[in-house]
Amino acid sequence: MGTDIKRRAKTPILSMTDGVVKFIGYLPIPGYYVMIEDPYGYVYHYYHMFELTTFVKEGDRVKQGQQIGIVGSTGNSAAYHLHLGLVTPEGKYVNPYDLFVQAGIGPILP
C-alpha cells in the first residue's frame, strides 16, 4: 500500500521527516529502497530508487528535506516514479496520499 509519485529519472528524493535510516536495500518488488523511522515511530518507505543510495547509510539521522536518493524504476516498476509507503507505530500500513489530501497538499500531479 502506498502512493506513486511520477517523476523524471534521477530526480532527487527528499526525506519527508526528521528521523533515523532503519534500512537500505534491494528486494524484487520495491527495488532499491530506503526506510526512515520518525521520532513518533512512523516508518516511511521510499521505493524504486535508481540505485543503492550513497546519500545516507543505515543508522544515519536525517532531517526533513534532506536528499536520501534519486528516482528510478527498479524492482516491479514500469516507469520512473517514487512509491511512498507509510507504516504506523502499530504496524498498520496507511496510504500517505490520504494524509496529503487531509493536509491540503493533494492531488499530487507530475
- Give pLDDT tens digits along the chain (110 positions): 788 888 899 999 999 999 999 999 999 999 999 999 999 999 999 999 999 999 999 999 999 999 999 999 999 999 999 999 999 999 999 988 877 777 666 555 54
**Which cell goes with 35?**
526506510
Q: Per-residue b/e over 5-29, b at no fewer than 16 CB within 10 Å?
A: bebeeebebbbbbebbbeebeeeee
Q: What is this structure's pTM?
A: 0.89
The helix/strand/coil state of 99 is helix
Contact, 81 vs 110, CB < 8 A?
Answer: no
| pLDDT for position 104 | 65
CATH numeric code, 3-102: 2.70.70.10
Which pLDDT score, from 0 to 100, does residue 6 have? 86
